[in-house]
């Protein structure tokens, strides 16, 4: 049913085909029913979970889904359960109209933007906790964060029943945690991780960058610069993680408003920290620039 509604174009007065907005669904039951119809037609479905305030990083995931699937569903939902009470849930940017315009340009098929009350009706008590890789790094600094992420992502997987779900390397640990959830709970979905999209000055795109003042935005360059340094050292043969951390710290400390939450060199799958660097590694960092907490990472394959 939905296919025809979505795909029928119309012509404007110049005879050119007008761009069609993606079909907006807010009701979880309607989303599920539309997915039933699409699956019955044998469509390959791609899901891109987001919290909205879309930028090119999110769009790169939707474009990957467009290229690899028949139908692309982008979820646009600021998930309250992954924010701690002292975090930025209330001030997190909500820009659904602008998001729909961006997704029109890349011809996404559906936007699923439910209300918090529809996702978490009164009496909701479930919680998905995967343990292991969810307890370190972001999990240590934000102890309830990954439970909230896993709970909402599993709900989205159950509603959208995608063949492939697209996540950004930007949130590297999140991908590890979601992959573990999918493996441990036999969720029938493939998890695809796509590269980090950066601004011209190397800063990773993030919805939270808009909290930064101009000066803080310039200072935020130290995150990627420190990762570039780590890559240069490790690819040059450095094996002692402490030496790499020192070099990263020196760069980050050139930014007066930057405070390091963690620097971490670990195994790309388990994230287990390596004192001696061997084989492929992921370098992860969380740095507060002023009041804004930024994360970044790079994979180093040798
Ligand atoms: P968010 O809306 O921040 O929850 O992000 C939704 C998805 O977009 C997650 O899978 C993120 O990892 C991904 N994402 C966010 N920023 C970027 C970026 N700069 N490059 C690639 N993917 C990103």
Write the pLDDT tens digit of every residue in 213-264.
999 999 999 999 999 999 999 999 999 999 999 999 999 999 999 999 999 9
**100 CB less than 6 Å from ligand 1?**
no
Please give the pLDDT value at position 286.
98
Cα three-residue angle 154-82-67, rounded to 5 degrees: 50
Q: Supply the pLDDT for residue 18.
A: 65
**Ligand 1 centre and the CA of 92: distance in Å?**
14
Task: Check residue 276 and give its pLDDT.
Answer: 97
Q: Assign a CATH topology to domain 211-300.
A: 3.30.1300
Q: What integer is the mean pLDDT of 277-285?
A: 97
Cα(188) to centroid(ligand 1), Å: 22
Backbone angles phi, psi at 24, to 5 degrees: -90, 125
What secondary structure does DSSP assign to the chain, as a single string?
-HHHHHH---B-TTSPBPPPPPEEE--HHHHHHHHHHHHHTT--EEEEEE-SS--HHHHHHHHHHHHH-SEEEEEE---GGGS-TTSSTTTS---HHHHHHHHHHTT-SEEE---HHHHS-TT--------GGGSSTHHHHSTTHHHHHHHHHHHHHHHH--SEEEEEGGGHHHHHHHHHHHHHTT---EEEEEPPPB-TTSPBP-GGGGGS-HHHHHHTHHHHHHHHHHHHHHHTT--BHHHHHHHHHHHHTTSTTEEEEEEEEE-TTT--B-SB--SSEEEEEEEEETTEEEEEEEEE--
Task: Locate the ligand 1 atom nearest the alpha carbon of residue 206 and give its number.
Answer: 16
Active site residue 55: no
In Å, how far from its chain's centre is CA 178? 11
> Where in the chain is CATH 3.40.50.620?
3-194
- Give the burial class of 183: count Cβ atoms within 10 A of its Cβ; 0-12 exposed, 13-18 middle, 19 or more buried: exposed
What is the average per-residue pLDDT within 193-214? Answer: 98
Instruction: List the beta bridge partners of residue 25.
Output: 112
- The verdict on the CB of residue 209 being under 6 Å from ligand 1 is no
pLDDT score of 2 more than 50:
no
Mean pLDDT (the chain, rounded): 95
Please, which pLDDT band fits residue 302 given cuts at 50, 70 and 90? confident
pLDDT higher than threshold 70 for residue 141: yes
- Catalytic residue from among 58, 105, 129, 264: 58
Q: Which atom of ligand 1 lies closest to the CA of 197?
A: 20
- If one residue of 61, 146, 153, 293 were mutated to test the ligand 1 pocket, choosing by the most ligand atoms within 8 A of its CB, it would be 61
Output the six-digit token pair for 50: 């987001």
pLDDT band at 19, cuts 50/70/90? confident
CA of 13 from ligand 1 middle (Å) equals 38
Our answer on whether the CB atom of 167 is closer than 6 Å to any ligand 1 atom is yes
Residue 5 has pLDDT above 70, yes or no: no
* C-beta separation of 252 from 258 below 8 A: yes
Q: Could you tell me the distance, in angstroms and rounded to a whole number, from the CA of residue 168 to the centre of ligand 1? A: 5
First-residue to last-residue Cα distance in the chain: 49
Model confidence at 90, in pLDDT bands (50, 70, 90)? very high
Phi, psi (5° rounding) for residue 11?
-105, 140
Residues spanned by CATH 3.30.1300.10 within the chain? 211-300
**Tokens 């695809």 label which residue?**
192
Burial class, 295, CB count within 10 angstroms (exposed 0-12 / middle 13-18 / buried 19+): buried
Rounded to an integer, what is the distance from CA 153 to the centroid of its chain? 11
Determine whether the shortest distance from the Cβ of 171 to ligand 1 is under 6 A. yes
Q: Is 145 in the pocket of ligand 1 (CB under 6 A)?
A: no
Mean pLDDT, to the nearest integer, of 95-110?
Answer: 98
12: confidence class by pLDDT, cuts 50, 70, 90: very low
Task: Decide whether any atom of ligand 1 lies within 6 Å of the 196 Cβ.
Answer: yes
Pairing of strands 258-266, 281-289: antiparallel
Angle at 295 between CA 294 and CA 298, to 5 degrees: 145
Average pLDDT over residues 132-151: 97
Taking CA 298 as the corner, what is the angle to CA 91 and CA 152, rounded to the nearest 5 degrees? 40
pLDDT given at position 17: 58
Give the CATH class of 3-194.
Answer: alpha beta
Q: Is the pLDDT of residue 10 over 70?
A: no
Does ligand 1 lie within 6 Å of residue 57's CB atom? yes
**pLDDT at residue 16, rounded to an integer:** 54
At residue 290 the predicted structure's pLDDT band, cuts being 50, 70 and 90, is very high
What is the rounded average pLDDT of the residues 152-172?
98
Identify which has the larger pLDDT, 14 or 96.
96
Pocket probe for ligand 1: among 57, 93, 95, the residue whose CB has the most ligand atoms within 8 Å is 57
């Amino acid at each position: 049913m939905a296919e025809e509604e979505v795909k029928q174009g119309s012509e404007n007065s110049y005879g050119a085909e007008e761009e069609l907005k993606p079909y907006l669904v807010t009701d979880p039951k309607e989303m599920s029913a539309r997915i039933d119809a699409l699956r019955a037609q044998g469509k390959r479905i791609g899901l891109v979970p987001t919290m909205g305030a879309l930028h090119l990083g999110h769009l790169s995931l939707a474009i990957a889904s467009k290229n690899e699937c028949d139908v692309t569903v982008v979820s646009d939902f600021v998930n309250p359960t992954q924010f701690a009470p002292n975090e930025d849930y209330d001030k997190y940017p909500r820009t659904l109209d602008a998001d729909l315009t961006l997704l029109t340009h890349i011809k996404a098929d559906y936007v699923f933007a439910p209300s918090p009350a529809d996702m978490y009706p009164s009496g909701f008590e479930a919680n998905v906790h995967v343990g292991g890789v969810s307890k370190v790094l972001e999990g240590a600094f934000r102890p309830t964060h990954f439970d909230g992420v896993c709970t909402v992502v599993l709900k989205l997987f159950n509603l959208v029943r995608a063949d492939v779900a697209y996540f950004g390397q930007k949130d590297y640990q999140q991908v590890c945690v979601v992959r573990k959830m999918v493996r441990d709970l036999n969720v029938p979905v493939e998890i695809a991780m796509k590269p980090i999209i950066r601004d011209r000055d190397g800063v990773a795109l993030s919805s939270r960058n808009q909290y930064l003042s101009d000066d803080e935005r310039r200072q935020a360059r130290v995150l990627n610069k420190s990762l570039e340094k780590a890559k240069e050292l490790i690819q040059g043969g450095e094996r002692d993680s402490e030496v790499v951390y020192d070099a990263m710290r020196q760069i980050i400390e050139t930014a007066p408003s930057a405070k390091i939450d963690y620097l971490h060199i670990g195994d790309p799958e388990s994230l287990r920290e390596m004192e001696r660097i061997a084989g492929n590694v992921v370098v992860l960092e969380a740095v507060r620039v002023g009041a804004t907490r930024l994360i970044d990472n790079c994979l180093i394959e040798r």
